[in-house]
């Protein structure tokens, strides 16, 4: 198996070299870009396994890069970890809502960056493996290919949207998602929906899952998450 390839995007040469040195020492193949425009070109031509992307870039900024990559089927599935010196929470949220998978704030520790990279890549490998197997989360079993959900030995009748919401949360256990992020993942960003509609889907899911519905937690003021206290079984 070849090395996993990372694209590192930053307009500061010293940061590029610092990240390149540390990531290559961890066994990754690293390519770099100093602008958003070059980053998009390399994402299309090199198809990296992950992109480390600074938000504050000259010309096309990091948010624009996220937006463009997420709209192209050839690059939409490449995980992105954003790097930002901005303190505003809104910039981080905007990046995550545009498709980024994680973030690291500057100044950063190279060890933290490599840990985040390793974690995001691991989640991606697990998600791809999940496509062809049954997810077991506590008493809930999700047959991904057959679109069947069971609680214990009892099959649960879910709508397509309920199934999509459950699968999305199950694949990202422990992560908190806003209502907008949930509906974007299940229906797409252009789908007309209100916050109340997402709440209705969650209420319906919990009711149909019975006591297992407590696996879906409400995070007040933010959104929802699936408990991360269970393992995926092969």
87-96 long-range contacts (CB < 8 A, ≥24 apart) are 91/55, 91/63, 94/63, 95/55, 95/62, 95/63, 95/66, 96/181
Cα separations in angstroms, 89 against 47, 86, 174: 29, 8, 20
Tens-digit pLDDT profile for residues 53-93: 999 898 899 999 998 988 887 888 889 999 887 656 777 77
Tens-digit pLDDT profile for residues 25-46: 999 999 999 999 999 999 999 9
Alpha-carbon Rg for the chain, nearest whole angstrom, is 19
Q: How big is the CA angle at 31 (ends 25 and 34), to the nearest 5 degrees?
A: 120
Q: Write the DSSP string, 97-164.
A: HTT--EEEESS--HHHHHHHHHHHHHHHHHHHHHTTSEEEETTEEEETTTTEEEETTEEE---HHHHH
Q: Which residues contact 69 (CB under 8 A, 6 or more apart)?
A: 40, 43, 51, 75, 76, 78, 80, 99
Q: Is residue 79 a contact partner of residue 50, using CB atoms and an 8 Å limit?
A: yes
Query: Across the chain, how many H-helices and E-strands are there?
Result: 8, 12
Q: Whole-structure pTM over 0.75, yes or no?
A: no
- What is the band of 48 on the pLDDT scale with cuts at 50, 70, 90? very high
Tens-digit pLDDT profile for residues 121-148: 887 665 555 554 778 888 999 988 778 9
Tens-digit pLDDT profile for residues 168-215: 898 888 889 998 888 777 765 444 455 678 888 899 999 999 999 999
Q: How far apart are CA 151 and CA 107, in angstroms?
A: 46
Q: How far apart are CA 46 and CA 147, in angstroms?
A: 34
Task: Tell me the domains of the chain and their CATH numbers.
Answer: 5-129 (3.40.50.2300), 131-226 (1.10.10.10)
Q: Specify the pLDDT at position 88.
A: 64
């Amino acid at each position: 198996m070849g090395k996993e390839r990372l694209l590192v995007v930053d307009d500061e040469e010293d940061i590029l070299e610092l990240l390149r040195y540390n990531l290559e020492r961890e066994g990754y193949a690293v390519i770099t870009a100093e602008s958003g425009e070059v980053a998009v070109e390399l994402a299309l031509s090199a198809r990296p396994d992950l992109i480390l992307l600074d938000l504050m870039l000259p010309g096309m900024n990091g948010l624009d890069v996220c937006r463009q990559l997420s709209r192209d089927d050839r690059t939409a599935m490449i995980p992105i970890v954003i790097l930002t010196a901005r303190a505003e929470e809104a910039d981080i949220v905007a990046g995550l809502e545009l498709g980024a998978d994680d973030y690291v704030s500057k100044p950063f520790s190279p060890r933290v960056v490599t840990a985040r990279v390793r974690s995001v890549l691991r989640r991606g490998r697990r998600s791809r493996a999940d496509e062809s197997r049954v997810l077991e989360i506590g008493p809930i079993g999700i047959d991904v290919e057959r679109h069947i959900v069971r609680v214990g030995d009892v099959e649960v009748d879910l709508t397509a949207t309920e199934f999509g919401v459950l699968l999305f949360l199950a694949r990202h256990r422990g992560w908190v998602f806003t209502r907008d992020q949930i509906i974007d993942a299940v229906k797409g960003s252009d789908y007309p929906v209100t916050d109340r509609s997402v709440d209705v889907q969650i209420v319906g899911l919990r009711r149909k899952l019975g006591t297992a519905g407590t696996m879906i937690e409400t995070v007040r003021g933010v959104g929802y998450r699936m408990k991360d206290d269970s393992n995926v079984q092969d």
